[in-house]
Amino acid sequence: MSDPVSQRLPDFPWDTIAGAKALAITHPGGLCDLSVGTPVDPVPALAIEALTASAGRWAGYPTVWGTPQLRAAIIDYLARRWGAVDLTDHHVLPVVGTKEMVAHLPLQLGLGPGDTVVFPECAYPTYEVGARLVGARPVACDDPARLAEFRPSLVWINSPGNPTGRILTADEMRAWVRAARAAGATLASDECYGEFAWDAEPVSVLNPAINEGSLEGLLAAFSLSKRSNIAGYRAGFLAGDAALLGELLQVRKHSGLMMSGPVQDAMTTLLGDQAHVEEQRQRYLRRRDLLRPALEAAGFRVEHSEGSLYLWATLDENCRDTVDRLAALGILAAPGDFYGPKGAQHVRLALTATDERIAAASERLREA
């Protein structure tokens, strides 16, 4: 009898900071939970209105490929915001939240034992989980020049990055595209935090200036969870190589992986509006401008963090000691070793807490 799939997986990381959370909760001023990137701000009114108006007309099953209106909205957004050109319906595919897609992309691409999946050295853990679910070899690598030695089938990049907030330059993005193609690998670019850039401007693999005018072998992942504060709706999409997306569409049809109809309609509306995105961006920027100097005043060094919704900070000590140090102040952070050995001296602090909790955490850091 084969081993259970669960035995291939690492321990669920958040279970390992239960003690720190228990300590932080005892602070007289209450817990400031900066450990998880879960939106806390209001769902945009236009999403609620679209969802409500749509709810009564979906007695039948939605399609895995999404409505024509949703596909058109995705294409328009990618052209307007990310410089994609010549996209058709065959270049886009809605997904039921991008975490599901990240975890199952190796499976849906037909990978298994004997395949290699490459991802950043400090990375969202689900890239590795996806490899382990199918028995593929997971490899952490930040150097595109080394891809050939791993002979990968799938390569993940992430910009702006989680947890580091690093934004890859256009030259770096081009280098990954070329190296993945030379290695015969699919390149999947996680661009879910693209709307939140602070000190540099991200670029997409969908832009012809990056992909040399071809989407061959390329997939880009986008999410409305943070962009539009609808993590609970489970709304995301892929875009890129039509042949790859056609294969994924067939697999997902057989698997019943369809986004709910009302969510498709809400997503269509949200993709057509940039004002609510800018409003949310300004909220996060205000929080960042408060929390970062407070961390630095407390002796932290903030590295990268040019984009995304996190500050990647270090006291040049074991990250678990830093987590405990912060917990004594009632602040819960994510230890950097969640994201790979390279993060062992860092912590990740999320901007996805209320203004009041960010202010409280900042005050405690300044007084420490």
State how far the alpha carbon of 152 is from the alpha carbons of 144, 180, 191, 336, 344, in Å: 11, 8, 21, 26, 26
Which residues make beta-bridge pairs with 332? 33
Q: Would you state the pLDDT for residue 2?
A: 58
**Residue 121 in this model has a pLDDT that exceeds 60:** yes
Which are the contacts of 204, defined by CB distance < 8 A and separation ≥ 6?
Answer: 78, 82, 83, 84, 189, 191, 194, 210, 220
What pLDDT, in 10s, does the model give residues 4-57?
665 666 666 677 899 999 999 999 999 999 999 899 999 999 999 999 999 999
Mean pLDDT, rounded, for 118-147: 97
Closest CA to 75 of 63, 65, 90: 90
Share of the chain above pLDDT 90, in %: 95
Q: Would you state the pLDDT for residue 16?
A: 86
Which are the contacts of 47, defined by CB distance < 8 A and separation ≥ 6?
Answer: 228, 230, 233, 266, 269, 270
Q: Assess if CATH 2.30.29.30 describes domain 56-273.
A: no
Assess contact for 232 and 35: CB atoms under 8 A: no
Assess contact for 329 and 365: CB atoms under 8 A: yes
Amino acid at 339: Y
DSSP 62: P
Helix residue ranges per DSSP H, the chain: 18-25, 45-54, 68-82, 98-108, 126-133, 147-150, 170-183, 208-211, 242-255, 261-271, 275-297, 319-327, 355-367
What pLDDT, in 10s, does the model give residues 180-237?
999 999 999 999 999 999 999 999 999 999 999 999 999 999 999 999 999 999 999 9
**Residue 253 in this model has a pLDDT that exceeds 80:** yes
Residues 212 and 345: their CA atoms lie apart, in Å, by 38
Average pLDDT across the chain, whole number: 95
Q: Would you state the pLDDT for residue 1?
A: 46
What pLDDT, in 10s, does the model give residues 312-368?
999 999 999 999 999 999 999 999 999 999 999 999 999 999 999 999 999 999 998
Share of the chain above pLDDT 70, in %: 96
Q: Which two tokens stand for residue 315?
A: 């006291």
Which residues make beta-bridge pairs with 308? none
Domains of the chain by residue range: 5-42+276-367, 56-273
Closest CA to 358 of 291, 305, 289: 291
- What phi-psi label fits residue 340: left (phi over 0), alpha (psi between -120 and 50 degrees) or beta? left
Mean pLDDT, rounded, for 120-149: 96
Which residues make beta-bridge pairs with 218? 187
What pLDDT, in 10s, does the model give residues 52-78?
999 999 999 999 999 999 999 999 999
Assess contact for 176 and 167: CB atoms under 8 A: no
Q: Assess if CATH 3.90.1150.10 describes domain 5-42+276-367.
A: yes
State how far the alpha carbon of 229 is from the alpha carbons of 21, 56, 233, 287, 299, in Å: 25, 23, 9, 16, 32
The pTM for the full model equals 0.94
Assess contact for 221 and 245: CB atoms under 8 A: no
Give the 3-state DSSP-derived string for 164-219, with helices as H, strands as E and coil as C: CCCCCCHHHHHHHHHHHHHHCCEEEEECCCCCCECCCCCCCCCCHHHHCCCCCCEE
Give the pLDDT band of residue 141 (cuts 50, 70, 90). Answer: very high
